[in-house]
Structure 1
Amino acid sequence: MSTKVVLITGTSSGIGLAAAVSASHAGFTTVATLRDPARADALRKAAEAAGVELDIRRLDVTDAASVEECVAGVIADHGRLDAVVNNAGAGHVGTIENESVDEVRRVMEVNFFGVVTVTRAALPHLRATGGRLLTVTSVGGVVGQPFNEAYCAAKFAAEGFMESLAPVAASVGVAVGVIEPGAVASEFVANVGVKEDAAAEAGVYGPALANYISRTRGAFANAQTSEEAAATIIEALTADRLPFRMQTSDVARAFAGGKLADLDGSRIQTMTSAWVA
């Protein structure tokens, strides 16, 4: 039997990079994709340090032609596709009165429609192998968080899409699951781009934003590593049975579990209101 082939998006840093190296170490032929191949140095160095090989390719999840070309290339070169990890994403902090609808659309394009585009291209090949489709969402796909309206909306959308797709995909032999990290110490946080004077420029929302930023910095100071989060992805790729929803830490499990048990929403509203008070 040929070595199983996994395609992972967003591998230039963070969870994606760690997952690509770990998947190769676990015995997968790993196609590590990223939007800009010029940013692959860290990925190559990590693979070299781990003594593993990666097939590094360009894939821009917001460009359907790029997605189709990459998936077709994987099939042409490897002959199969056994798993996909939708990991590419972008953080965003803001509130709707202070930003444009176009900014919200851009967040949705990367974090939701990018997932949809890759999923659509990959499904026929995953059907052929009885494969697995994993999507890295977030606890922000379960719990709406202050100043993360667009980001959480995109992650909620991805979770709803996958939860709805899962039984349909299972009927043709494809297992679908979501991976929900909490705070992870990675470049993802730096890439959100919150300026030092963001609160001062936020108008009437300034005090609430200042409190939110202070609380969030504390949470990320105690974050798990990308490698720890990636370990859950490898578990999902190799487990005999794939659960639909997997969190990457005890903290994430407690956080997501609080929402799933909060039928009237009061518990979560009380918690998140304290973040900005």
Structure 2
Amino acid sequence: MPLQIVTVPCLSDNYAYIVKGPESTCVIDAPEAGPIIAELEARGWSLDSILITHHHHDHVGGVEELRAKYHCDVLGPKAEQDKLPELDLALADGDSGGEGDELVEVIAVPGHTLGHVAYYFPNGGAVFTADSLMAMGCGRVFEGTPEMMYHSLQRLAALPPKTLVYSGHEYTAANARFAKTIEPDNQELNWRIEQIDHARAEGEPTVPAILAQELETNPFLRAHLPQVKAAVGMPDAPDVAVFAEIRARKDRF
């Protein structure tokens, strides 16, 4: 049985994800417990584990309530262990667990926070990126450096193009408006904006996103391209410097 992935809206614009395989059920991040419990109960599912991507409260606020109700294990990045709810297992880059479609690999993606990780299910064709790579954007660089974030995004960009990217927030419409200021003539981008606007008008989430589409439309994955460098007035600059300029523009957008 392939993975079943349920997108759970939480708080004002967060997402949690329930990932059910044949052997176990996990939640990726827990902004708040109520919506997650409601989705689990509606399907008659229990909960075996919570996988935390980073320490920000809007990704861990529901952990303790879920742990108390389901007696589930809590896993998260070792690099942020002192800032997280108590972990049953601390994870580092390259760690993996599970089998078949449930095989999950830990990818360190610092930048937004220093210990941020993503969870990649290579056989399930999904990566859970929280506030690193986002649909049409990337997270703010709060604790790390632009160089860290750029390297993190390059690692994610190297995954198979058909990979589905599950990010942590419903920021896509705003990200798309910014992307258009960088590449107004990008036809793939303009087509995607239409799709995003339609989805939001219907109250539908804009995640997951297909990585191949991100590579064609997300300015933070396109800083190496001559046309993007020219668009920001940095035709001869290093890729990471162009990325930093795009991130700075987005911060002011």
- Please tell me whether Structure 1 or Structure 2 has the larger radius of gyration of its CA atoms: 1
Normalising by structure 1, report the TM-score: 0.39
Normalising by structure 2, report the TM-score: 0.42
The structure with more strand, counted as a fraction of residues = 2
Higher relative contact order (CA 8 A, sep 6+): 1
